[in-house]
Amino acid sequence: MAYVDIGSKLFFGLIALLVVTRLLGKKEMSQLTPFDFIYSIVLGGILEESIYDDKVSSLHVWFAVAVWGAMLFAIEKLSQKYDRIRVLLKGESSILIRDGEFNIKELNKNHLEMEQLRVMLRQQGVFSLREVRDLYLEPGGTVSLRKYPEFGEVTPAMLELEVKDEALNFLFIDEGKMNEEILRYVGKSPEWLYDELQKLGYSTLKDILYAEWSETDGFFIKTYNEDKDDVKKGN
């Protein structure tokens, strides 16, 4: 009976955690604030502590997660509505460097040493502070920066080049099989696909490993036979 009880707690607890997580929205690990980290630990702790406690039933787990999730949901809504609550619970961005000048007060407030700052910059591909014009420390602990123009990436606009706006590409054939759902989404038919492939010299889908298509670039096709791998375009 103990095994059944533990299994049911795990099953219902996992569902409860997934529901709460979905309600609170999608976030990457790098986007988590200290508040997000704390509530994640508590949610896991609720399930962990209840698994081997015979006095705690599956309904107790549901109730605990539901109350905790409702509190978090209310806090999230209040944080969206009131800036003071958001700053209090989740923090705000700190300006560490502005126009090349260090903000020593903010560095000390966030307990950052220069070498720690250099490590964070190297993770962003910046190996010298001379490149940095503005630097922000985000609530999740990551940094956002703006370089001086002479150290920035060259863009087509700087070179006065006209750049073509590329359309989305769609996977029509995957390992010899046609993706009819994607075809319908794009507004194309299987007959259209067969006709286009024949124009490009492909008589059967079985030889095609991968075929994508976009409105601007046409087809990009790879076959199973490496000697015949090719890129062909067509609209």
Residue keyed to tokens 């994508």: 212
Which residues make beta-bridge pairs with 218? 214
What does the CA dihedral 120, 31, 14, 48 come to, rounded to 10 degrees?
50
Q: Which of 126, 151, 121 is nearest to 137 (CA)?
A: 121
> Residue 192: its pLDDT value, please?
93
Contact 132, 126 (CB under 8 A): yes
- pLDDT at 193 (0 to 100): 92
pLDDT of residue 188: 92
Give me the residues paired with residue 208 across strands: 223
**Threshold 0.75, pTM exceeds:** no
Pairwise CA distance, residues 20 & 141, whole Å: 24
Burial tier of 36 (Cβ tally within 10 Å: 0-12, 13-18, 19+): buried
Maximum CA pair distance of the chain?
74
Helix (H, G, I), strand (E, B) or coil at 143: strand
> Can you give the pLDDT at residue 231?
47
Task: Work out whether the CA dihedral 106, 86, 90, 138 comes out positive or negative.
Answer: negative
What is the mean pLDDT, run by run of 10 residues, along the chain of 235 residues? 69 70 55 63 71 71 76 78 74 87 89 86 87 88 86 74 76 89 91 92 88 89 64 50
For residue 7, give both structure tokens.
């299994």
Q: Distance (Å, rounded) from C-alpha 66 to C-alpha 82?
A: 24
Distance CA 208, CA 206 (A): 6
Tokens 């508590």 belong to residue:
42
